[in-house]
Amino acid sequence: MKPTLSELLSTRRILVCCGAGGVGKTTTATGLALAAAREGRRVLALTIDPSKRLAETLGVERNLKAPVSLPEERLRQAGIEPPGSLETWMLDPQLIASGVVRRLAPSPESAERLMNNRIYKGVSGMVAGMQEYTAMQALYDFVQEDRYDLVILDTPPSRNALDFLDGPRRLSRFFDGRIFQLFVPSEEQGFVQRAASSLISRVLSAVFGEETFGDLQEFFNAFATIFTQLTRNASQMGEFLADPEGVAFLLVTSPSPAALTDAFFFRKKTEEMNLPFRAFILNRSQAYDLDRVYPTADLLGPAPSPAALSGLAKLQELADLEVAQVKRDQKLLRQLGEKAGDQAMAMALPNLTGGANDIASLLKIANVLVSS
Ligand SMILES: Nc1ncnc2c1ncn2[C@@H]1O[C@H](COP(=O)(O)OP(=O)(O)O)[C@@H](O)[C@H]1O
Ligand SMILES: [Mg+2]
């Protein structure tokens, strides 16, 4: 059975919009959020890197402590009324990471010490998978809270769509790494290992200098408990995102060959990881049928002027180009449909002139999303 997006919006608790950078994840996530809220659900859109204009439309700002509602007048414009609601929160990975540290550190002092540690400051934004991990953490927290019927997660801008799925694994690989183990005091470590690590300590401080080495050791000590907890959380979240009754993964792609290769790979990966993949969304494409009318000679009436004829010829050339693109995109859509498997669908979104940053164009996107 292939559920429609409209069915997913009314039955799931979490939708995750994945895709390579710039394909339209944030736009699609917002369109879905509007559609669900209009149907009466209490929706939270966890958004990342919205364009400045989109952030203004949603009334959201960076570093807010809690989600904010869509401004009154836009709620009305979008046809959202109680019990439906739409709130947005702009994820700031750095901010969530500090939240996680505060919560998991053994004491508030140790949390503060860690966040002021030079190594932590450098590493927290850099560690592979940290952004993805923090996005999932925020998602997890909001879903536990029960204030929303549906949480839609827009994912961090990444080179390819897979980075998001791989985030927690890359993170735990980093934390499990040999180097990390050397610094973590462990009760299971025997004398020889401790001796070895103190030898290593001496070598490292000789190499890096006492001060940096001290920072390193403090960093690893303070983060030891947090690391363990993070890895445990990451695997719990993996399970929680695999629930086919509650969660749906959507992959947004553009018609470009690179984005498509990515999309197919993502599809394969979700299958391997047993994640509920439910739709390919081919954004900014010509596959979406807009009742196209093409210019023909009878539009000109009897005895057209030479200028009108030449204008018509030019229009027809452009129309031919568009027809070729429509065919190409429709073929892509069919291919996506075939790759989607028997539980997922493929659908197309039009390319709106002037972008999709205001309520009117986002509503157009929302309407197309729920109509297929
Ligand atoms: N279907 C569309 N029609 C017109 N403009 C679009 C469409 N989808 C996205 N855009 C525009 O493309 C830009 C990138 O979209 P965005 O959703 O931020 O991508 P991503 O989140 O994947 O990086 C934005 O300026 C957005 O308004
Ligand atoms: Mg985005």
Q: What are phi and psi of 133, to 5 degrees?
A: -60, -45
Q: Is the pLDDT of residue 167 over 90?
A: no
Ligand 1 pocket check for 129: Cβ under 6 Å: no
Which ligand is in closest contact with the Cα of 262? 1
| Nearest CA owner, ligand 1 atom 15 | 24
Residue 174: CA count within 13 A, CB half-sphere:
19
Ligand 1 pocket check for 106: Cβ under 6 Å: no
> Which pLDDT belongs to residue 273?
84
Residue 41: both structure tokens together: 């659900």
For ligand 2, the distance from its centroid to the CA atom of residue 135, given in whole angstroms, is: 13
29-43 average pLDDT score: 98
Q: Is the pLDDT of residue 355 over 80?
A: yes
Ligand 1 pocket check for 31: Cβ under 6 Å: no
> Which pLDDT belongs to residue 281?
97
Ligand 1 pocket check for 351: Cβ under 6 Å: yes
- Which residues share a beta bridge with 68? 88
Residue 276: both structure tokens together: 């509920």
Query: Which atom in ligand 1 lies closest to the alpha carbon of residue 252?
Result: 22
* % of the chain residues with pLDDT over 70: 79
Check residues 213 and 329 and name the one with the higher pLDDT. Answer: 329
- Which residues share a beta bridge with 252? 281
Q: Is the pLDDT of residue 151 over 80?
A: yes
Q: What is the pLDDT of residues 176-196, one digit of tens each?
A: 555 555 555 555 555 555 555
User: Which of 17, 27, 252 to probe ligand 1 with, by most ligand atoms within 8 A of CB?
Assistant: 27
Ligand 1 pocket check for 233: Cβ under 6 Å: no
Q: Is the pLDDT of residue 23 over 70?
A: yes
Q: Is the pLDDT of residue 237 over 70?
A: yes
Q: What is the rounded distance in angstroms from the CA atom of residue 251 to the CA atom of residue 265? A: 11
Which ligand is in closest contact with the Cα of 362? 1
Which ligand is in closest contact with the Cα of 28? 1
> Where does the pLDDT of residue 361 fall: very low under 50, low under 70, confident under 90, or very high at 90 and above?
very high
| Stretch among 137-141, 226-230, 264-268, 282-286 having the lowest mean pLDDT | 226-230
For ligand 1, the distance from its centroid to the CA atom of residue 28, given in whole angstroms, is: 8
For ligand 1, the distance from its centroid to the CA atom of residue 358, given in whole angstroms, is: 12
| Stretch among 4-13, 79-88, 311-320 having the lowest mean pLDDT | 311-320
Tell me, letter by letter, the H, E, C secondary structure of the chain: CCCCHHHHHHHCCEEEEECCCCCCHHHHHHHHHHHHHHCCCEEEEEECCCCHHHHHHHCCCCCCCCCEECCHHHHHHCCCCCCCEEEEEECCHHHHHHHHHHHHCCCHHHHHHHHHCHHHHHHHCCCCCHHHHHHHHHHHHHHHHCCCCEEEEECCCCCCCHHHHHHHHHHHHHHHCHHHHHHCCCCCCCHHHHHHHHHHHHHHHHHHCHHHHHHHHHHHHHHHHHHHHHHHHHHHHHHHCCCCCCEEEEEEECCCHHHHHHHHHHHHHHHHCCCCEEEEEEEEECCCCCCCCCCCHHHHCCCCCHHHHHHHHHHHHHHHHHHHHHHHHHHHHHHHHHHHCCCCEEEEEECCCCCCCCHHHHHHHHHHHHHC
For ligand 2, the distance from its centroid to the CA atom of residue 249, given in whole angstroms, is: 16
Ligand 1 pocket check for 25: Cβ under 6 Å: yes
Domains and CATH numbers, the chain: 5-177+241-294+328-371 (3.40.50.300)
> Where does the pLDDT of residue 309 fall: very low under 50, low under 70, confident under 90, or very high at 90 and above?
very high
Q: What is the pLDDT of residues 77-118, one digit of tens each?
A: 999 999 999 999 998 767 777 777 888 788 898 888 888 877
For ligand 2, the distance from its centroid to the CA atom of residue 157, given in whole angstroms, is: 6
> Which pLDDT belongs to residue 318?
93
Query: Which atom in ligand 1 lies closest to the alpha carbon of residue 349?
Result: 1
330-363 burial by CB neighbour count: b if 16+ within 10 A, else e? bebbebbbeebeeebbbbbbbbbeeebbebebbb
> Which pLDDT belongs to residue 6?
97
289-308 average pLDDT score: 84
Ligand 1 pocket check for 57: Cβ under 6 Å: no
> Which pLDDT belongs to residue 176?
57
> Which pLDDT belongs to residue 120?
75
> Which pLDDT belongs to residue 86?
98
Q: What is the rounded distance in angstroms from the CA atom of residue 49 to the CA atom of residue 34? A: 18
* % of the chain residues with pLDDT over 90: 45
Q: Average model confidence (pLDDT) for the chain?
A: 84
Q: What is the rounded distance in angstroms from the CA atom of residue 256 to the CA atom of residue 188? A: 53
| Nearest CA owner, ligand 1 atom 17 | 24
